[in-house]
Amino acid sequence: MKAQLAGGLMVAAIFAAPALAADAKADVAAIHAVDQAWLKAFRAADGDAMASLYDEAAVLMPPGVPAVNGRTAIREFWLKEAQGANQGGMVFSFGEKRAGGADGKLGWSSGSYTVQDKDGKVVETGKFLSVNKKVNGKWMYLRDTWNADRAPPK
């Protein structure tokens, strides 16, 4: 009886594995779609759209400054940054190769970014890492951080 039960569980696990892998792949695609929505909102300096991508209890961890806690404070931070970038003619973009993973209600995304000035000159390159949480079927940033490849000028 125990052998039959163990065999049945093994067969169920074998058939369930492709479905779980497909779900994880779809979740990673959805997490990367959040990154693209963030990029679109940043370029438009749309603070509300950027903030809507963050969990109420999210923490933004920018380089060189204290952490920014909560959706409202994150909205203000990003709005100021995006408006400054737009006024300065800066263009932010993600690198082509991004990684990600998901397991249940938690996921992550990482990759590289580039900032160009109004003349197209690369002024900064760096990398990012976000931890995402699935809330009511929607992926949201829970933790978000990045840093430049070079130290800031002194």
User: Domains along the chain?
Assistant: 2-148 (3.10.450.50)
- What CA–CA distance (Å, rounded) separates 24 from 57? 24
Give residue 1's pLDDT: 57
Q: Residues, the chain, total?
A: 154
DSSP-derived 3-state class of residue 27: helix
Give residue 133's pLDDT: 97
Give the DSSP H or E segment for 137: none
- What CA–CA distance (Å, rounded) separates 105 from 111? 21
pLDDT band at 23 (very low <50, low <70, confident <90, very high): confident
Give residue 124's pLDDT: 95
Nearest Cα to Cα of residue 71 among 44, 41, 95, 49: 49
DSSP-derived 3-state class of residue 64: coil
Give residue 19's pLDDT: 43
Are 57 and 140 in contact by the 8 Å Cβ rule? The answer is no
Does the pLDDT of residue 12 top 70, yes or no? no
Query: Tens of pLDDT along 77-99?
Result: 999 999 999 999 999 999 998 99
> If you average pLDDT over residues 112-131, what whole number do you get?
96
Does the pLDDT of residue 9 top 70, yes or no? no
Are 153 and 142 in contact by the 8 Å Cβ rule? The answer is no
Does the pLDDT of residue 121 top 50, yes or no? yes
